[in-house]
């Protein structure tokens, strides 16, 4: 390997954020690509890779694994590794390879015909046939691995928490057959056609009915409970869907003078949500509590 070839490889690794560093274990010197700092007997110097560098087997490239191509071999992303330059390799050795302007870590293997390969330990990654292209080369044999503690930035943690909370807040998928069952259960609590508005809002809130589709909701109720004495009126439903009633049911509120009326709507809405989210064997307790609450407001 020439100095220019080594410089090209280190340059590519640096651009790909593999954080390469050239080490010479015989002298203790190292050259850091990202900072252009060289540590030598005279101390730290900022300089380019020396043109007269003598590439020896005592030299290593230290780098940080930037993908999960070797995950099935237990090598994780962000692991720190050292590859000895120009070291002899045999079947099964993990190597650092350079092919078509990119750096790869893989297992060196020869097939039955003697052809050499560098193979990843993750099926999603590219398999390199070394005999296919003279530009493909083994840079070094990986001899050391160090698992570093990985820390995620605080802003990333906050984003992950936000995403997790949104997942928790997402309504679970409710089958339409369960919606029909819930309508059948709640109908006995509806003693005025306006109270169907609370059922409509509960269904919209849990995403089992389309928002603003008052006609479709009314048609469904007429189909589900055709003999009910107080069937919904779509025009009346649309008139109610304003101010506090446009909020999620749990946030419905009203002035003291209208508190009783709002509580009736709210309790029916919360009861419908409970039915939609419940298992069928819990219906008795839900309806009992709803009935008791409505009686208190009479």
The DSSP secondary-structure symbol of 213 reads -
Its domain, for residue 126, covers 55-150
Pair (187, 285) in one structural domain: yes
Residues 77, 66: contact at Cβ < 8 Å?
yes
Instruction: Kindly state whether residue 50 falls inside one of the protein's structural domains.
Output: no
Measured N-to-C along each axis, helices 176-186 and 196-205 cross at an angle, to the nearest 10 degrees, of: 160
Q: At what angle do helices 259-277 and 283-296 cross, to 10 degrees?
A: 180
Give yes or no: residues 130 and 194 share one domain: no
Query: What does pTM read for this prediction?
Result: 0.48
Is 156 a domain residue? no
Mean pLDDT of the chain: 83
**pLDDT bucket at 192, cuts 50 / 70 / 90:** very high
Q: Are residues 96 and 187 in the same domain?
A: no
Q: Do 100 and 206 share a structural domain? A: no
In a domain, residue 7? The reply is: no
Q: Of the ranges 70-74, 176-180, 283-287, which one carries the lowest mean pLDDT score? A: 283-287
- CATH number of the domain encompassing residue 121: 2.10.109.10
Say yes or no to pLDDT of 268 above 90. yes
Instruction: Say yes or no: 178 and 146 in one domain.
Output: no
Please give the pLDDT value at position 298. Answer: 47
In a domain, residue 134? The reply is yes
Digit-coded pLDDT (tens) for 102-155: 899 999 998 888 888 999 999 899 888 887 656 778 899 999 888 766 666 677
Q: How many domains does the chain have?
A: 2
Q: Above 80 in pLDDT, residue 32?
A: no
Task: Note the Cα 198 to chain centre separation in Å.
Answer: 35
Q: Are residues 178 and 127 in the same domain?
A: no
Rg, Å, the chain Cα set: 35
- What is the per-residue pLDDT across 151-189, written as a single tens digit (0 to 9) for each? 666 777 877 788 777 777 665 788 899 999 999 999 999
292 and 229 share one domain: yes
pLDDT digits (tens, 9 = 90+) for 202-223: 999 999 999 999 999 999 999 9
Task: Give domain status of residue 159, yes or no.
Answer: no
Q: Of 151, 180, 203, 213, whose CA–CA distance to 280 is shortest?
A: 180
């Amino acid at each position: 390997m020439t100095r220019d070839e080594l410089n090209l490889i280190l340059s590519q690794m640096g651009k790909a954020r593999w954080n390469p560093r050239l080490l010479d274990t015989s002298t203790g010197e190292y050259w850091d690509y990202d900072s252009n700092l060289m540590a030598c007997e005279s101390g730290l110097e900022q300089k380019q890779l020396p043109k007269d560098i003598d590439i020896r087997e005592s030299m290593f490239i230290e780098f940080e694994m930037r993908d999960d191509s070797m995950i099935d071999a237990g090598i994780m992303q962000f692991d720190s590794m050292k590859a000895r330059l120009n070291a002899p390799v045999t079947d099964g050795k993990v190597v650092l390879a350079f092919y078509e302007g990119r750096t790869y870590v893989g297992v060196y293997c020869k097939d039955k015909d003697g052809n050499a390969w560098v193979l990843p330990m993750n099926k999603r990654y590219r398999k390199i046939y070394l005999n296919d292209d003279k530009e493909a080369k083994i840079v070094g044999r990986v001899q050391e691995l160090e698992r570093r503690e990985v820390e995620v930035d605080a802003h990333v943690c906050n984003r992950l928490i936000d995403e997790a909370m949104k997942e928790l807040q997402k309504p679970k998928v409710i089958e339409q057959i369960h919606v029909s069952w819930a309508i059948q259960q709640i109908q006995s609590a509806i003693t005025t056609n306006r109270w169907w508005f609370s059922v409509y809002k509960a269904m919209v809130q849990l995403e089992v009915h389309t928002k603003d589709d008052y006609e479709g909701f009314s048609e469904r109720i007429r189909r589900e409970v055709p003999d009910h004495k107080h069937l919904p009126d779509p025009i009346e439903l649309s008139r109610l869907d304003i101010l506090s009633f446009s909020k999620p049911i749990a946030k419905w509120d009203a002035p003291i003078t209208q508190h009783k009326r709002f509580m009736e709507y709210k309790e029916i809405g919360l009861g419908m949500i409970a039915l939609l989210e419940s298992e069928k064997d819990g219906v008795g307790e839900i309806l009992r509590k709803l009935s008791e609450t409505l009686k208190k407001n009479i």
